[in-house]
Structures are given as structure tokens and as C-alpha cells.
Structure 1
């Protein structure tokens, strides 16, 4: 009952436009006071939760995504994806999905995807006449592939919290991630035909090979990470 009231307090405060962090803090404080829990226990519990070697993978994979964005790797992935699916109707929207699928194998985070690769995707789509609302929507939707396809940060947190196998959870994320990408591309195809979006010509073979060569190291990153983890060469934390 007390927990239900705590969640209700959070919802009410959020509806009153109180920042989410402050809402959670207020509700948590009320819970501690009503349950008679010593405030000295709070920092101890916070430290015990994060005092875990596998949890280091959480910030490290996000750091990898940020470094990829800062180093221009996101642009190379985008160009590579455009070489293969950019000629389809609504091509850049398809590129958006494929690029996010590739990038998700490096960062495991929707935030890294949307923050770095998403900026490139939205700018490119709006410059070529796509609706800004559609560009933002497909970018936000494709970014959610990141937490599903390994190395997924939420999966690592779940595995640590419930003492589950990270490797098996990663294996379980492949099929849903690919199915999600396919579903998004089908939706894009239908929407692009309805709006009669521009369809570009198939790129020269030379351009495909050039973009593949420029993005080769980036494409090998998820192969190395996942291959090493599944073969037992290193743990998810060591991979990060």
C-alpha cells in the first residue's frame, strides 16, 4: 500500500510539472520517513548497488557511442547504409533504420544513437525534402533498437540485478532487434509511397566499395565485441 501511494505521489508531482528527478526524490523521502528507515542507509544502499564490476560496462558502452559520434564514425555508418538502401523510395528513412541497427551494435544505448547519429539523419532528411515531423519520428523510433540489440545497456543492468546470463540475454535480443528494423522499414515503405517521396538512383559500385572501406573498422566493432563475449574471450565489461 505504501509503495502504491509513493508511485501515486510521483505521478501527481509530475502532472504538476515538477521535474521528474525532484518528484522521485520527494516521494522517496516521504517513503523513508513513513517507514521509519534511517537516512544513513540511503548512501550505503546506493553504493552497494553500483559497486559491481559488470556495471562498468554501462558507462563504457555509452562512452564508445560518444567517441564514435565525435570521431565521425557515425557519418561513415550513415554513408555506408545510404549506399545500400538509399535508392529505395523514402531512402533516407530506410538509411535511418539501417544505420541505427548498425550503430546499436556498438553503443547499446538509444541516447547515444539519437544524440549523435540522429542529428546527422534528421539534417540529411530535412535537406532533401522530408517532413521534419517524419524525420524526427523515424529517428526516435529507430533509436529504440539500441537497447534491444546487443550490447544492450539495459540488458546488462537487468542481468546484474537478477543474476541472469548476459550472453543468453544478448542472444535473445538479436531477433527482436532485426524484426523491429524490418517492421520500421515496411512502415517507411508504405508511408513513402503515400507521400511520394523522392527516389534516388542506385549508386555506382565504386562508391559502395569506398563507403564500405571507410566504415570497415566501425562495422567490425560489433563483430569483435559480440564475438569476443560469446566465445568467452572477455566479459561484457572487459569488452567495453
Structure 2
């Protein structure tokens, strides 16, 4: 059963079928050929979507679309540039820091690239940065988004692995800050060794103050979101709803850059993005259910535990597996397929579920930068009209801080577990 399922799945992927189709069609074929009720197709798909944490996905997408539509990304970029623009390589550092701030709004790497990528790269090219360096830095910094709350991949992982979504979102804060620091350290070293340009901006204190006032409502969005999660009064869905309401209030009442037309465009983008994600969720649920019928998760758990029962060694093996999976599978599909198979074995071996969730997502975000299915690479290539080879060449040096962050997060569980356990005892 599993052999037929996996053969059809890989065959459809090779033929270029959409991931959701490659998941759903083999599952349907196996269910029919095994003589199982066809009603299972609808039942399992709908059960997968009947999840409260998943309600946060469209709301976070809508909040990011609304904030992007009102132009807050430009204000944030200008403010950080005014504050830190006097150092060598400052514009590259600004790009990383703005990615961290915007990650507290968007929840997805591709959303960060779409909102910030062209602004960041154009500014760096104007100041004399090489285009491959600018592109590589931008896609590397976008990996912060899915680790720092809100994170759509983390919410989906939590729903699949039966982990508290609030705790898992909080678990991503320290690893995301670590990743930010490591990227900034690398840029500082490159700036010193290769003499990256200094920023040309020389603002007066009054200009910085004015820009801060303009940017303040946008800066409060991630504060509101993270504060809501930390307070314990809101779950991911409630926080997402409050963030949408906040975006509408500041968009219409303060910035006055939102219009009914822009809201409708944001809603359309949200529907399209949510439909793509939830189609994959429903299809992957069928796929995982067929694998479960054939006891694949149990067999995989037994196999992994037969190799070693050392949690650190198991995490190392899983890192290697996930880095390979991330090269060929879209991240959400990979979470939905692989997490139910390997998570039980690692938790049984003593790996903390919160640490495992962050390691899992970080691996797959690195996969967004690796060909042949590195979606971040293709997206930055499309929005900047830069050859894909140039983008790949630029991102290669930034694998160093990304992999160092992965190793540290894998080796030190407290980086992921301390904050949520301390706040939610």
C-alpha cells in the first residue's frame, strides 16, 4: 500500500504536478484499490481542516496583506536606516533588522520577500553592493519570519503534532533572535574584510523623531501580537483577529492609506493564499492517513529508535533528513507528511516537543534556499528579474550562519523551551 502511494507521489512530482495534487491523487487511488469507502476522501480531508489553530492562518495572512498595503514596510525600513545608517555595511544590517521587525507581522518567508525584497535590494544596489550579495542576504534574512511569531509553518506544525500552538510560537522567539544576531555578525565580518559601503543617509534628530512617530503604529503591531501571546489571554486565533482589527484601525484612522479597494485586494490575496495552503493540508491529511493504515509511522519510529536512543544523535539524523526533504518538497507539505512519521519517535526518545518543532521548521526554512525547489530563490529572482544563478551564488555564504543556528538550536534545548515554560507554567 505504502509502496504504491509513494511511487505515485514521486512520479507525479517528477512530472511537475502541484504538490497538493501529488498528495491527493495517489491517496485516492490507494483508497479505491484497497476497497475502502470513497467517503473516507471527504471525511479525512474535512477533519484535517476542522482545526481551531488553523483559523489563525488566513487571519495572519490578511493582517500582513493589510499592513503591507498601507505602506508600513517603507516607513520601517527608513526608520531603521536613519538610526543605524552610519556604520560600514549598515544598509545590509538594516535589511536584517527590518526583516526581524516585519516577521512579527507576516508569519511567512515568502511574504517577507514580497513585501521587503525589492526595496532592500534596490537600496543596496544604489549604494554599490553587489547584486548577488544583496539578493542572498535578503532571502537568508527572510528565514527569520517563519521562526518568529506569528509563524504559519509553526501553527501548522502544532496542529499536526498536537503541540500547544501558543507555546510553540513563543519557543521561536529566542532562536529567531539568535539567527538575527548570527546574520548580523556575518555581515559585520564581510563589511570589515571587503569594505562594504557606508550608508549615504545623514538625518537630523528631528527627522528621526518624525519618522519614529509615523512608524510607531506599525511597530506596535508585533508588540501587540507577542504581548497577547505572552499574556496567556489570547490564543493564536484570537491574537490574529486582534491584529487584523488593529491593522484596519491604523490603516483607516491613522495612516489613512487604506481604502475599500485595497482591503478587497488584500482579501483576495488572503483567499488565494489560504486556499493554496489548506488544499495542501487536506491532501496531506489523506496521504498521512494512508501511511498510518500501513503502520509507516510506527515502523519509522521503531527504525529510528533501533539506530540510537540518544536524543541529540536522533536530532542530527532528522536534521540531515529534513535538509534533504526541504530541497524537494514545499515546506508546509513537508511538515504535514514528515512530522506525523518522525515526531513520535523523537518525543519518545526524550526530545522536547517544543525544541523539535523549532528544529523542524528551521530546517525546512533553510530548504527554501536550496534548489531545485527553493521557493525563496525563485521569488526573489521573479521580483528583481535577477538570474536564478546569481541569487544562488549570493545566498551560498549565508548558509554558514543558518547552519550554525540550526546546530545550536538542536544542541541546546533551553533556547526553545525556556521562554514558553517560564511564561506558561
TM-score band by shorter chain is 0.7 to 0.9
- What are the residue-to-residue correspondences of 1:163-182 with 2, within 5 Å? 163-182=162-181
Alpha-carbon distance in structure 2 between the residues aligned to 1:36 and 1:81: 61
- What are the residue-to-residue correspondences of 1:49-68 with 2, within 5 Å? 49-68=48-67
Q: Hey, what does 1:189 align to over in structure 2?
A: 188
Alpha-carbon distance in structure 2 between the residues aligned to 1:41 and 1:204: 66
Alpha-carbon distance in structure 2 between the residues aligned to 1:79 and 1:43: 49
Larger displacement relative to structure 2 (67-76 or 224-233): 224-233
Q: Hey, what does 1:128 align to over in structure 2?
A: 127
Alpha-carbon distance in structure 2 between the residues aligned to 1:4 and 1:210: 63
Alpha-carbon distance in structure 2 between the residues aligned to 1:139 and 1:5: 40
Using a 3 Å threshold, how does the CA distance of structure 1 residues 220 and 32 change in structure 2: closer, same or farther? same
- Stretches (4+) displaced over 6 A: none
Using a 3 Å threshold, how does the CA distance of structure 1 residues 39 and 90 change in structure 2: closer, same or farther? farther
Q: Hey, what does 2:208 align to over in structure 1?
A: 208
Q: Hey, what does 2:137 align to over in structure 1?
A: 138
Using a 3 Å threshold, how does the CA distance of structure 1 residues 4 and 117 change in structure 2: closer, same or farther? farther
Deviation at 1:105, TM superposition (A): 0.9
Using a 3 Å threshold, how does the CA distance of structure 1 residues 200 and 47 change in structure 2: closer, same or farther? same
Using a 3 Å threshold, how does the CA distance of structure 1 residues 4 and 198 change in structure 2: closer, same or farther? farther
Alpha-carbon distance in structure 1 between the residues aligned to 2:14 and 2:81: 42
Using a 3 Å threshold, how does the CA distance of structure 1 residues 16 and 205 change in structure 2: closer, same or farther? same
Residue 153 (structure 2) pairs with residue 154 (structure 1)? yes
Alpha-carbon distance in structure 1 between the residues aligned to 2:214 and 2:83: 14
Using a 3 Å threshold, how does the CA distance of structure 1 residues 29 and 89 change in structure 2: closer, same or farther? farther
- TM-score, normalised with respect to structure 1: 0.88
Larger displacement relative to structure 2 (188-197 or 8-17): 8-17
For the 8 Å contact 2:166–2:235, the answer to whether it is kept is no
Using a 3 Å threshold, how does the CA distance of structure 1 residues 132 and 6 change in structure 2: closer, same or farther? farther
Deviation at 1:199, TM superposition (A): 0.8
Alpha-carbon distance in structure 1 between the residues aligned to 2:140 and 2:7: 29
Gaps of 5+ in 1: none
For the 8 Å contact 1:55–1:156, the answer to whether it is kept is yes
Using a 3 Å threshold, how does the CA distance of structure 1 residues 38 and 65 change in structure 2: closer, same or farther? same
Q: Hey, what does 2:231 align to over in structure 1?
A: 231
How many residue pairs get aligned? The number is 239
Gaps of 5+ in 2: 241-425
For the 8 Å contact 1:150–1:173, the answer to whether it is kept is yes
Indicate the SS of the match to 1:169.
helix
Indicate the SS of the match to 1:144.
helix
